[in-house]
Amino acid sequence: MSEDKPLHVRVAEALGCSPRFDGVVWCCTCRAGEHVGSEQYNTLSTSELNYYDTDWSATGPLIEKYQIGFYPAGLGTWAAEWRDGRYENGIGDSYSKAEDTPLLAVCNLILALKEAGKL
Ligand SMILES: [Zn+2]
């Protein structure tokens, strides 16, 4: 994954999309509006990627699916957190990210989880 791609594109890639830039916006060939993991590719239609970094309706299902928690972390920052299902009494994996908005924190957490092989 390249750092020069917009955050929502990197999130889509983490979810299994293969986005491409059509000259104006980033698109994917999976079904319209569905860039949430298990994809059914339909090469007949291309749709613009969801803006996961600003669109609650796009990112809400990801928060639910991956059971991501988020909370105000003070000084204008929000933290997003994910805990392994086995997490108990501090034993097990947990990941967190802090950013300016809840969705930015969630998006960066999703990238971290992908990197860690936890998605
Ligand atoms: Zn896609």
pLDDT digits (tens, 9 = 90+) for 50-105: 899 999 999 999 999 999 999 999 989 999 999 987 666 667 789 999 999 999 99
CA distances from 3 to 10, 59, 118 (A): 8, 20, 20
Q: Which domains are present in the chain?
A: 7-115 (3.30.2120)
SS3 65: helix
Confidence of residue 34 (pLDDT cuts 50, 70, 90): low
Determine the distance separating the centroid of ligand 1 and the alpha carbon of 38, expressed in angstroms.
9
Look at the block and give the residue holding tokens 């639910």.
Answer: 64
* pTM of the predicted model as reported, rounded to 2 decimal places: 0.83
Determine the distance separating the centroid of ligand 1 and the alpha carbon of 22, expressed in angstroms.
14
Confidence of residue 3 (pLDDT cuts 50, 70, 90): low
Determine the distance separating the centroid of ligand 1 and the alpha carbon of 14, expressed in angstroms.
10
Determine the distance separating the centroid of ligand 1 and the alpha carbon of 69, expressed in angstroms.
24
Ligand 1 is a single-atom ion; what residues have CB below 5 A from it?
Answer: 17, 28, 30, 35
